[in-house]
């Protein structure tokens, strides 16, 4: 099973076009959007070619695979409401995770909330009583066991090795060290991975990836990662040999 993960598209027309091309090339079973696929600037950046939130929803819904997403700090009440309305009109299921998980093709994908910004519009049907991972993540692990230790999606990076201090989330690092998933994918910090030329590391036994996109002042080549999973007889996910590959900028 192949998952193509990408973050921080920020409604840039060229990045959405390149994502469509990447999907045609790699033929993933799932595209996982790790936050900031919309862009909450008001007004929008001058001279940047953006698509509307409605067009973003239609472009993603047209991809020939399942779509899973988590919120970033740029999914706001205004753009998320327009995105959600357009998505619902397509008739496709909306896998907008928020301290929840979804099973696609046997892979239980866990989506973390974003602790930055206002999540009222995004979270209205998936409320959390507490952002502490002991509350909601513990429940997911209890129900799904090893199946929920395959792929975790979180906008804020869970390690200082891949992000500046302002972007790092200590709570997510603690969760990784406690439950040790195979892969955790983040974004949010657009500069640190390019400055250090480090896009992945390990936290405990987990491969952690930061997909912060080069979008300022203009986007470049789309940065994304494919993750290939196989499953044991009991359904436990495993990474294929050389199962994580990075492409783009």
How confident is the model over 15-44, as pLDDT tens digits? 999 999 999 999 999 999 999 999 987 677
**Largest Cα–Cα distance of the chain, in whole Å?**
53
Domains and CATH numbers, the chain: 2-247 (3.60.21.10)
Average pLDDT over residues 208-218: 86
Six-digit token string for 157: 């990076």
Are residues 61 and 19 in contact, defined by beta-carbon separation less than 8 angstroms?
A: no
Tracing tokens 């998936």 back to the chain, one arrives at 126
Residues near 50 by beta carbon (within 8 Å), at least 6 away in sequence: 10, 11, 12, 13, 39, 44
Q: What is the pLDDT of residues 108-124, one digit of tens each?
A: 999 999 998 888 899 88
Mean pLDDT of the chain: 93
Phi/psi of residue 17, each to 5°?
-65, -45
What is the rounded distance in angstroms from the CA atom of residue 133 to the CA atom of residue 113? 10
Are residues 38 and 52 in contact, defined by beta-carbon separation less than 8 angstroms?
A: no
- pLDDT value of residue 220: 83
Q: What is the CA radius of gyration of the chain?
A: 17
């Amino acid at each position: 099973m192949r998952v193509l993960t990408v973050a921080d598209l920020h409604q840039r027309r060229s990045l959405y076009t390149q994502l469509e091309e990447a999907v045609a090339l790699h033929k993933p079973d799932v595209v996982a959007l790790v936050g900031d696929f919309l862009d909450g600037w008001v007004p929008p950046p001058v001279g940047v070619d953006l698509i509307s939130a409605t067009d973003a929803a239609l472009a993603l819904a047209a991809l020939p695979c399942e779509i899973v997403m988590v919120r970033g700090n740029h999914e706001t009440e205004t753009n998320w409401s327009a995105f959600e309305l357009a998505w619902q009109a397509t008739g496709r299921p909306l896998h907008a995770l928020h301290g929840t998980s979804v099973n696609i093709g046997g892979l239980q994908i866990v989506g973390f909330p974003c602790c930055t910004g206002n999540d009222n519009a995004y979270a209205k049907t998936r409320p959390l009583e507490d952002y502490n991972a002991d509350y909601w993540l513990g429940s997911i692990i209890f129900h799904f066991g090893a199946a929920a230790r395959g792929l975790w999606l979180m906008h804020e990076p869970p390690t200082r090795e891949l992000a500046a201090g302002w972007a790092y989330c200590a709570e997510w690092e603690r969760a990784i060290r406690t439950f040790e998933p195979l892969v955790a994918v983040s974004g949010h910090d657009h500069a640190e991975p390019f400055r250090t030329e480090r896009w992945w590391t390990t936290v405990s036994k987990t491969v952690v990836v930061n997909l912060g996109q080069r979008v300022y002042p203009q986007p470049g080549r789309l940065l994304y990662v494919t993750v290939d999973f196989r499953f044991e007889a009991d359904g436990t996910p495993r990474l294929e040999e050389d199962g994580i590959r990075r492409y783009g900028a």
